[in-house]
Structure 1
Amino acid sequence: MDTTKNILTVCETLYHLIILIVTLGQGCNSMPVPTDIPMCTASETAQYSLTFTGKWTQAAFPKQYPVYRPPAQWSNLIGVTHSSDYHMWQRNEFASNGVRDFAEKGEAWTLMKEVEAAGERIQSVYGILSAPAVVGGTGQMNTQFEVFARHSYLSFIVRIVPSPDWFVGVDSIDLCDGDRWKDNVSLELFPYDAGTDSGFTFSSPNFETIPQDKVTQITASFPSHPANSFYYPRLKHLPPIAKVTLTRVKKTNQIISLPAEPTQSNQLPTGNEIEDKLINTPLDCEVSVWSPWGLCKGKCGESGVRHRTRYVLMHPANNGAACPLLEEERKCFPDNCL
């Protein structure tokens, strides 16, 4: 009898539990399963050659172009191959401590520790790649890397030198197309602000952004401040400051390029850079506000003149608007004439 009661009690409990689950299921929306991310089904690994080309010229970016201490140049490239659930950096998201250190100072230690931790925790990172720095605004750096179906994405970052916390890079480009690997990919690159330093110019002193901002793309009109080194109000879009070309190559034994010291040979424009048309960005003259009017100079009882002046903040370049008059005068009558 007791056994029968126990069985009935268990059955009643299971019945009520099933009713509860069904009721909750009807009143709640199930968690959607992402279906917009294509799955790579390529059976073999693929090897790629990466060529980064700097296009940071004084003709294309004449405003405050750094010519010394230090001159315009690029840091070494740091990149990873990974799965879709990992991001080295993302637009409109906060930069990690590693990205902050690299964008501000070119230090990669913290960033590498973050990459290593992501690889160990969720096995989302497959490989790390690097390429040597470019010691001029133009020039190229090259490296090779390998991808496979589970880790078919590439991300990388290159610091703009000098700058407060500006960089260029790629966030999660997928090199796989269904069951095959893409043969060639070419992307134009534009500057980003890491959101950790509040400087406006290439040579701004360190001024920490508190609270930290999100990563944003720098444009010809944003940040909307005349002091901004990339502020060109006449342009709808900034010209690309760099580009990256990815080419699938035949497999070799060496798949990862080790860091190398920057060399003068990196400055030589070769390969893809020759294809690009020379960009000349017009830079209009910028002048200061007028000074106060000076004293009226003239003889007593007669009209005199007074002057005011302004000075050039930015000289024009590439057929930009010429500077206006820097001195004005107007008639006056001397005050306190005896």
Structure 2
Amino acid sequence: MLNKFFIALLSLSFSREVFGFRCDRKPYGSTTQSSPPDGRFKLVVEGIEDAYIPNQLYTVKITETDDESRFIGFMISAEGDIKPDPNNPRRMVALYPGDLRPQSTFTAKFSDRCLYSVEHTMASPKSFVEVYWQAPPSGNGCVTLRAMVVEHEDVWFEDGSPLSQRLCEDLRQPDDVTPQLNYDCDICDDAKYEVTFIGMWSRHTHPRLYPENDWVPRYSDLVGASHATDYIIWAPGTLATDGLRDFAEHANGSKLEGEIREKIGNGVRTLIKGKGHGYRKMSNPTYAFFRTDKTNHIFTVAVAIHPSPDWFLGVTRFELCQEDKTWLQERELNLYPWDAGTDSGISYESPKMETLPQDAVGRVQMSSYDKNSPFFETDMKDLHPFGKLRIKLIRTYHRECEEEETTKEPEASTVESITTEEGEETGESEDKQGEPDNPSSEAPIVTDPESSEECPMSQWQEWSPCDGVCDNGKVVGYKWRERYHLVDGVAVEKYDPNMDPSTIKEVSRVCKNHYDDFERTECEDDCFETEDDNDLTVERRVMSPVAPGFGWKSKRYLLKRISL
């Protein structure tokens, strides 16, 4: 009877709440210590970035990264967060991390020495292996997946990026989740978007350990790009670049901007930049414009939090090209802190403490049991957002679909509009040549004789049609127009698909600050409503341009005749 009692206690200790421990994952028979990961092997959880959906089944993969390396053995382990036992605060327990299990008994088996682990069946050379991970039910916090990889008998690796990945329960609302990437974007028209960042970090919303001096906290400039799917500025599970490191640690975006500029025309369409805000203006919105096309249809942006160890806000690889072949019209996202993985400080004003070796980008640790952390015993579901990001479609630019030709030269891209609420910009791209019958075509560039010699400007273009909801034959809304900064007679902001990015002109900051390139005003006009919205055999409807800050669900359309 006594033996049965001890067996029952032992089984309870290995239940879904267990003492936290790290088992020995050293390869059988090995007499050497593990080597630091060298990047040739990585752990990947397919279909996930930084957060898991409770009870979801995922594929976990170890794979080589250089197309040549092979490994003969492995172990993958799941570890839950360590927390005090509610019934005994002095006793620590580990939350349930979900179940790992083999996909095939020929390649993997349940480990007989480590809990919640699978390991290799045969020590044969392999380039990748896949197993299943069933995520735990809701309420189990974060899970760390760790890989041990055996290259040969005396060389093996474990832990550290990129052989470990920390995943937390996805507690966001559906509106906070970024869309799945659309690798087959099939929209011919270009699009222009407005992105707005609104800061929400304050002593009132985040009182715990908020910096004592109110004039110290600030947001960095908004920095990012619209780009192709194969270009990554930052992403969970990756190592921060030097530019992102400088940006996250010091709120200085110069180096990050330089990294993005080097990719313009080769994975990047638009460099995005908006003015950051500090004391007394923390809640002021920051605006920027950017362009997208069939190739560059996702965008990434970031805003650093200062002071902080290496924390920043933002979205990465956000998809704008929808499956129904339309551009996303509007979206609002709540923003929570990311950790660049370069500084081990735990609070806003922690002393600098370099992370060695550098860790992967991931969420700032929530539910911390360190009283020096702003997130002491705080789950993300209870955390007030640090900011909001709004994405809004401004207008589209009609492009005829062209069949791909093997001899066709790829079009270059140029730096495009970066306009903040104070009128700053780094160069707006527009159509250089418009088709005569195209509603989005624009007038040739003409220098305004009344502009200053120091800051020459083009003449204002024509006002857009008055845009708004058509009600009883009248529309009350907004109209808008644009002009461009000129340098050596060239419109810096004008989009030219054939321009060499290395020849892009720079506009002086004085000119950017003192001469607006965009105007919007209220308007009224007569309008009409089409009788049959579904009859597109004779006429093609093109949405009229929409002014920033105004909706696009207008019943007024520009009509374009199509020859039958």
Which one scores higher on RCO, CA 8 angstroms, separation ≥ 6?
A: 1
Contact 1:184/1:246 (<8 A) preserved:
yes
Aligned partner (choices 161, 182, 199) of residue 54 of structure 1? 199
The separation in 2 between residues aligned to 1:137 and 1:232, in whole angstroms, is 26
Contact 1:154/1:171 (<8 A) preserved:
yes
Aligned partner (choices 328, 337, 348) of residue 182 of structure 1? 328
The separation in 2 between residues aligned to 1:88 and 1:193, in whole angstroms, is 14
Match of 1:73 in 2: 218
The separation in 2 between residues aligned to 1:43 and 1:234, in whole angstroms, is 43
What is the RMSD of the two structures over their aligned residues, measured on CA atoms?
2.9
The separation in 2 between residues aligned to 1:139 and 1:171, in whole angstroms, is 23
SS of residue matched to 2:194: strand
Identity %: 30
The separation in 1 between residues aligned to 2:322 and 2:291, in whole angstroms, is 16
SS of residue matched to 2:188: coil
Q: CA deviation at 1:176?
A: 0.9
Q: Deviation string for 1:253-308 (max 9, x for gaps)? A: x73322689x9xxxxxxx9xxxxxxxxxxxxxxxxxxxxxxxxxxxxxxxxxxxxx
Q: Deviation string for 1:113-158 (max 9, x for gaps)? A: 32233346xx211110100012144221111111111000010110
Match of 1:336 in 2: none
SS of residue matched to 2:263: helix
The separation in 1 between residues aligned to 2:249 and 2:363, in whole angstroms, is 16
Report how many aligned residue pairs link the two structures: 228
Contact 1:143/1:256 (<8 A) preserved:
yes
> In the alignment, residue 202 of structure 1 is paired with which amino acid?
Y
Are 1:128 and 2:271 matched, yes or no?
yes
Contact 1:47/1:255 (<8 A) preserved:
no
Match of 1:95 in 2: 240
Which protein has the bigger helix share? 1
SS of residue matched to 2:220: strand
Match of 2:536 in 1: none
Match of 2:6 in 1: none
Contact 1:219/1:238 (<8 A) preserved:
no
Contact 1:76/1:130 (<8 A) preserved:
yes
Aligned partner (choices 417, 423, 426) of residue 255 of structure 1? 417
The separation in 2 between residues aligned to 1:215 and 1:113, in whole angstroms, is 20
The separation in 2 between residues aligned to 1:190 and 1:54, in whole angstroms, is 11
SS of residue matched to 2:370: coil
Match of 1:21 in 2: none
The separation in 2 between residues aligned to 1:96 and 1:255, in whole angstroms, is 25
Q: CA deviation at 1:214?
A: 1.1
Which range moves more in the overlay, 196-205 or 183-192?
196-205
Q: TM-score, normalised by structure 1?
A: 0.61
> In the alignment, residue 185 of structure 1 is paired with which amino acid?
R
The separation in 2 between residues aligned to 1:107 and 1:234, in whole angstroms, is 29
Go from structure 1 to structure 2 and tell me whether the alpha carbon gap of 1:182 and 1:36 turns closer, same or farther (over 3 Å shift). Answer: closer
Q: CA deviation at 1:231?
A: 2.4
Match of 2:518 in 1: none
The separation in 2 between residues aligned to 1:172 and 1:66, in whole angstroms, is 32
SS of residue matched to 1:248: strand
Contact 1:220/1:238 (<8 A) preserved:
no
> In the alignment, residue 250 of structure 2 is paired with which amino acid?
K
Go from structure 1 to structure 2 and tell me whether the alpha carbon gap of 1:60 and 1:118 turns closer, same or farther (over 3 Å shift). Answer: same
The separation in 2 between residues aligned to 1:207 and 1:36, in whole angstroms, is 36
> In the alignment, residue 273 of structure 2 is paired with which amino acid?
S
Return the index of the structure with the highest Cα Rg.
Answer: 1
The separation in 2 between residues aligned to 1:226 and 1:130, in whole angstroms, is 36
Are 1:159 and 2:313 matched, yes or no?
no
The separation in 2 between residues aligned to 1:230 and 1:139, in whole angstroms, is 25
Q: Deviation string for 1:234-268 (max 9, x for gaps)? A: 7744221111001111369x73322689x9xxxxx
SS of residue matched to 2:295: coil
